[in-house]
Amino acid sequence: MSAATLNTDRLGKLLALLTSDHDGEVVAAARAACRLLAAADLRPEDLADPGKLFRATYQLKPAPARPEPPPPPSVSGMTARQVREVIAHILTGEVSEADRAFLTALSARLFSAPHQGITTAEVRKVNKLWRIIDE
């Protein structure tokens, strides 16, 4: 069961009644104020904590945690055929002549000798170009 929102207008009126000259009215107001606070999961001593009062008044909940962003795409661990598909995708974008030559040569090598795989430096370069094209 969730706590009720604190009705600060009603609480203010009840606290004002604590200054009454009639003892019965003071006791009744104090008990009503305690019930009002309890409904909002507060105690009388919480009146001294403005933060608790603010959260109870506006039913504030902690902000949800931001989800972790997905990792950037990487050809690491892909098969030679998958890497060639990524290279084909990259070549559809605007790349420099040097990068185009590098990618074309790499794709040809992976086609003729797929078991060789690609080096770490090649993985880095292809990943960098892939991120640039997908931006």
- Quick check: is 64 in a domain? no
Q: CA 134 to CA 119: how far, in whole Å? A: 22
- One domain, residues 84 and 46: no
Containing structural domain, residue 14: 8-58
| 13 part of a folded domain | yes
Please indicate, yes or no, if residue 44 is contained in any of the structural domains: yes
Domain count, the chain: 2
Query: What is the pLDDT, as a whole number, of residue 62?
Result: 63
H helix runs in 59-115, sequence order = 80-91, 97-112
Contact of 97 with 58, CB cutoff 8 Å: no
Nearest-angstrom CA–CA distance, 17 and 78: 75
Domain assignment present for residue 110? The answer is yes
pLDDT at 134: 84
Give the pLDDT confidence score for residue 17 in this predicted structure.
Answer: 93
Q: Give the model confidence (pLDDT) of 55-101 as tens digits.
A: 777 766 666 788 888 888 899 989 999 999 999 999 999 999 999 99
Question: How is residue 14 written in tokens?
Answer: 């009840």
pLDDT of residue 60: 63
For residue 39, which of 73, 6, 65 has the smallest C-alpha distance?
6
Mean pLDDT, residues 96-113 taken together:
95
User: pTM above the 0.75 mark?
Assistant: no
How far apart CA 114 and CA 101 sit, in angstroms, is 19
Write out pLDDT tens, residues 11-29: 999 999 999 999 999 999 9
Of 1 and 66, more confident: 66
Instruction: Identify the pLDDT of residue 2.
Output: 47
Residue type, 74: S
Task: Check pLDDT > 70 for residue 131.
Answer: yes
User: Which pLDDT score, from 0 to 100, does residue 61 have?
Assistant: 65
Q: What's the pLDDT score for residue 25?
A: 94
DSSP strands (E only) in the chain = none
In a domain, 120, yes or no: yes
Query: C-alpha 23: how far from its chain's center?
Result: 53
